[in-house]
Amino acid sequence: MKIKNLVCTLAAMALLSNSGTAVVMAEDNADTAAAAATEAAETVEPVTADDIKGTWSGTYTGSTGSTTIEREISLNIDECDADGKFSGVATITSSENQSYCFSGTCDLATGEIRFKGDEWIKNANKWSFLDFKGNLVSGKITGLTDNKKDRPFSLEKKSDSFVRYSVDPAAVKREWYGEYDGHSGSVVVRRNIKFSITDISDDGKITGSAVFSPSNKAEAKYALDGSYYFTGTLDERYGRLRIQGNEWIEHPAMENFTFIEFIGSVQGDIIDGTTENGIWKMEATSILKGDLNFDNKLGVEDLVILEKYLLNDGMPFNKTLFFYADMNSDDSVDVFDLIELRKAVIRFSDNNTKK
């Protein structure tokens, strides 16, 4: 009997001992898990403004109609403050003529990030903006667009360097030459154009005049020229430019010819943008007297135009052409201007040959 009681006592002690060990082990495991979670939380690296600023590239899932499609995108983030508010310009590199200004916020403690487009610079495909939301960890941003599981995006930081998009209105060049896409009915027509900016006010309002002429990239039947005054705005933050004619100087020989809006951005000596019909590209230039076909150079074609005018050979001559043809600035166009233009053509040819 004593032996039996001893065995029961030993068994009970063993049971209590094992139960205590299990409790201790459970408590130890809980403590270890909590410590690991705390350590993991403590190892989340805080994000700085310099981590956000720079050049990023990657892919996102957009759509064409009801079909999803992966597209390539590049972000140039040139501003970020101490609170994680940032902004920049996005370019959809897998599709031509698609870029926009965007802004967003980043929780600098957790890396949670969100951004969305504010205004299009170029939107040839008439797209809408997507809402990007994700997390920034170790130079990578991953997440979803429009909070949809089938619309992931992934971006990787490529460089700490970035393009500064803000501009000083006083430094914007006043004379520009380039080309744009207009239209004749449903046909897109490429035209040459010159802009002369006369004033940029402190609040970004622009005034000036424009001259357009036929391009050798368009068919002769669309050869029209004209000139007009324009107004517009310049956004200092992004160098974003909007210009539209508001009064004709010389209306082209087509009754239903109307003004179109030019939208783009100014970066140094370049303007890059779109019209409702396609591209708009310009370079800073200087006034080139004698350039009567507005191709930004002097040549035989300019001499022919002036000779026809002087011979009264049915050549129309509007006010803008008159300004460029008045080589000696005496408020008249005559044979003396033809002589000066011939000299200018020779000089232009010699200078460009030497280059």
Round to whole Å and give the CA distance between 211 and 282: 13
Longest CA span, the chain: 143
pLDDT on residue 32? 54
Question: 273 - beta bridge partners?
Answer: 264, 280
Q: What mean pLDDT value characterizes the chain? A: 86
Q: Say yes or no to pLDDT of 355 above 60.
A: no
Q: Which residue has the higher pLDDT, 39 or 214?
A: 214
pLDDT on residue 41? 44
Q: Say yes or no to pLDDT of 168 above 70.
A: yes
pLDDT on residue 123? 87
Q: What CATH code would you report for 169-284?
A: 2.40.128
Rounded to two decimals, the pTM is 0.66
CATH class of the 49-159 domain in this structure: mainly beta
pLDDT, one tens digit per residue, over 308-329 is 888 886 666 666 678 788 888 8
Please state the rounded mean pLDDT for residues 233-240. 93
pLDDT, one tens digit per residue, over 97-127 is 899 999 999 999 999 999 999 999 888 888 9
Residues above pLDDT 90, as percent of the chain = 55
What does the DSSP assignment read for 156-199?
EEEES--------GGGS-SEEEEEEEEEETTEEEEEEEEEEEEE
User: Using only C-alpha atoms, what is the Rg of the chain?
Assistant: 34
What SS3 class is residue 328?
coil
Round to whole Å and give the CA distance between 129 and 221: 39
pLDDT on residue 21? 47
Please state the rounded mean pLDDT for residues 37-60. 80
pLDDT on residue 24? 45
pLDDT on residue 254? 83
What SS3 class is residue 136?
strand
Please state the rounded mean pLDDT for residues 16-29. 48
Confidence of residue 176 (pLDDT cuts 50, 70, 90): very high
pLDDT, one tens digit per residue, over 51-105 is 999 999 999 999 888 899 999 999 999 999 999 999 999 999 999 889 999 999 9
User: Which of 42-56, 176-190, 260-274 has the least mean pLDDT?
Assistant: 42-56
Q: Say yes or no to pLDDT of 10 above 50.
A: no
Q: Say yes or no to pLDDT of 192 above 50.
A: yes
Amino acid letter at 354? Answer: K
Round to whole Å and give the CA distance between 164 and 49: 15
Q: Say yes or no to pLDDT of 12 above 60.
A: no
> Which residue in 51, 77, 78, 43 sits closest to 140, CA to CA?
51
Q: Say yes or no to pLDDT of 27 above 70.
A: no
Confidence of residue 28 (pLDDT cuts 50, 70, 90): low
- Residue found under tokens 């520009």: 176
Residues of the chain with CATH 2.40.128.120: 49-159
